[in-house]
Amino acid sequence: MESSLDIKITAFGKTDVGLIREHNEDNFLLANADLAMRTSAPKEILEFKLGPKGALLLVCDGMGGAAAGEVASTMAVESIAADMETGEPTTRERYARRLRRAIENANEKINAQSRLNQNERGMGTTCTAAALVNRTLLVGQIGDSRCYLLRSGQLAQITKDQSLAWQLIEAGAMTSEEAKSFEHANIILQALGVQDKVDVVLSHVDLCRGDVVLVSSDGLHGPVTDDEMKAVLLAEADPKKACETLIGKALEREGPDNITVVVARFDGESLPPPEPNPVLGFAAFDPGVDPDDPEPVKDTPLPISEKTTEEFPIPAEASSPGAMPTNMVSATASTPSVSHEIQTAEENSSRPFLTFVLVTLLAALGGALFLAFQQSRLPDLPSTSSEPNAGKTHTPAAQPAQPQSPDSLAPAP
């Protein structure tokens, strides 16, 4: 990543409890690792130039009741910011992988914390993290907090809500306006901390000179329409005044939820001028996998369709009636890790003797068990005991009928 870019960032963020909730479970963060700056309660507008370590705009909307939601959102912003400060990205792909891992790590920490504390059981938080590297804004998304971009007088949402309502909108079952009054509008499909694993959705946009980015919780974009937000951003060039005005709009609509807003403006000679009629919207970003990436990559099982197996042939001389099939699948070879290559035939050739011994023993054991089973099914030889069924363990229904002596048919005296 170039360190001499002339990209100027002017940003501000603010959160409000709203008029209905008793406490605020939202959290946000503005961070610039090059300046060792990280704040969730700025008093004045922040102005700085983009450095090699990038910049981060983050909004989290906690859930879980009592103070658990606040705990989850606080843990998320602190964990993600700390992970994003480590190292200097060299490409946007590597930076995107770091962002994805940072969000996944936050999920694991919150989930572990909720398991340890009964009062925090089930807590979670949404997460929308906008990270700038070079002139590319990378957005990691979990839940229904949003990121918008204003360019050339157009406001576009560049994230997709991970919610039931959004799925119905995309399916054509309802409109965006109808979704605002949808009785299940609060149902989201993913949240940090609720499950062991999350699927981070990454999107991106290349910034232009004069772009404005808005990151918000649903306490803002729920009661306030996109057109109203666009009007405020166009009228207020000052990010602080824009945040205050937007929150005021949500409070005018009874402030039904916690309200969090982050507004950032981007300028500088390193950004190209905007096109007059831009096409904006969600654009998925796949950072791929880089085997030379110095960042640690966690071992995860491959999908079933990608698993492979190794076969160990059993020599003919080891075969016997009832022996095991002539091929045995290695269970350990069927679940390789993504961070290790499957061993080649040449590497396996160093273990032929141990493999042969193991397979032979298993084959012999299988044959012995089969012979014992066959032996147990043979008809019983006549018994010399005075009792007709002495020594038998099978149920009568499973045995051939035994001849009875005339004495046994005689009535009892």
Q: Are residues 240 and 311 in the same domain?
A: no
| Same domain assignment for residues 249 and 312 | no
pLDDT of 363 over the 80 cut: no
Q: What is the CATH number of the domain that holds 255?
A: 3.60.40.10
Which of 243, 267, 291 is the endpoint of a domain? 267
Mean pLDDT, the chain, rounded, equals 79
Looking at residue 93, what is its pLDDT? Answer: 93
Per-residue pLDDT, 322: 39
pTM reported for the whole predicted model: 0.71
pLDDT tier at 56, thresholds 50, 70, 90: very high
Q: What does the pLDDT average to over 133-137?
A: 93
Specify whether 233 is located in the same domain as 318: no
Residue 281 domain flag: no
**Closest by CA position to 215, among listed 166, 249, 260:** 260
The per-residue pLDDT for range 375-395, each reduced to its tens digit, is 555 554 444 333 333 333 333
Q: Which domain holds residue 355?
A: 299-339+351-370
- Residue 232, pLDDT > 70, answer yes
Domain count, the chain: 2
Which token pair is 226? 């996109």
Contact assessment for residue 332 and residue 301, using Cβ atoms and an 8 Å cutoff: no
Tell me whether residue 383 is in a domain: no
Cα–Cα nearest to 64, from 145, 120, 144, 142: 120
Answer yes or no: do 329 and 253 share one domain.
no
What is the pLDDT at residue 266? Answer: 98
Looking from the CA of 156 toward its CB, the CA atoms found within 13 Å total: 15
Distance CA 348, CA 352 (A): 7
What mean pLDDT do residues 273-289 have? 93
pLDDT band, residue 197 (cuts 50/70/90): very high
State the virtual CA torsion across 21, 24, 25, 30 in degrees, nearest 10: 140
In a domain, 375, yes or no: no
Any domain includes 379: no
Q: Is residue 290 part of a domain?
A: no
With 80 as the cut, is the pLDDT of residue 291 above it? no
Q: Which residue has the higher pLDDT, 142 or 371?
A: 142
Backbone angles phi, psi at 70, to 5 degrees: -65, -35
pLDDT digits (tens, 9 = 90+) for 350-359: 445 556 656 6
Q: Are 139 and 159 in contact (CB under 8 A)?
A: yes
| pLDDT band, residue 114 (cuts 50/70/90) | very high
What is 91-116 written as a DSSP string? SHHHHHHHHHHHHHHHHHHHHHHHHH
Give yes or no: residues 134 and 253 share one domain. yes
Residue with tokens 């824009």: 242
Is residue 336 within 8 Å of residue 318, measured between CB atoms? no
Query: In the block, which residue shows the tokens 């700025």?
Result: 42
357: region left, alpha or beta (phi > 0 left; psi from -120 to 50 alpha): alpha
Q: Is residue 256 part of a domain?
A: yes
Q: Could you report the per-residue pLDDT of 296-349, keeping only the tens digit for each?
A: 544 443 332 233 223 333 334 443 333 333 333 333 333 333 333 333 334 444
Q: What pLDDT sits at residue 181? A: 81
Position 396 confidence tier, pLDDT thresholds 50, 70, 90: very low
Are 96 and 152 members of one domain?
yes
Model pLDDT for residues 185-195, shown as the tens digit of each residue: 889 999 999 99
Asked if 160 and 49 sit in the same domain, the reply is yes
Element (H, E) at 274: none
* Number of residues that this document lists for the chain: 413
Measured distance CA(347)–CA(149) in Å, rounded: 53
To the nearest 10 degrees (0 to 180), the angle between helices 92-116 and 68-84 is 150
Question: pLDDT value at position 352?
Answer: 54
Residue 324 is predicted with a pLDDT of: 34
Q: Do 234 and 304 fall into the same domain?
A: no
Residue 287 counted as domain residue? no
Give the DSSP H/E element, type plus range, for residue 143: none
Q: Are residues 127 and 203 in the same domain?
A: yes
- Residue 102 maps to a domain: yes
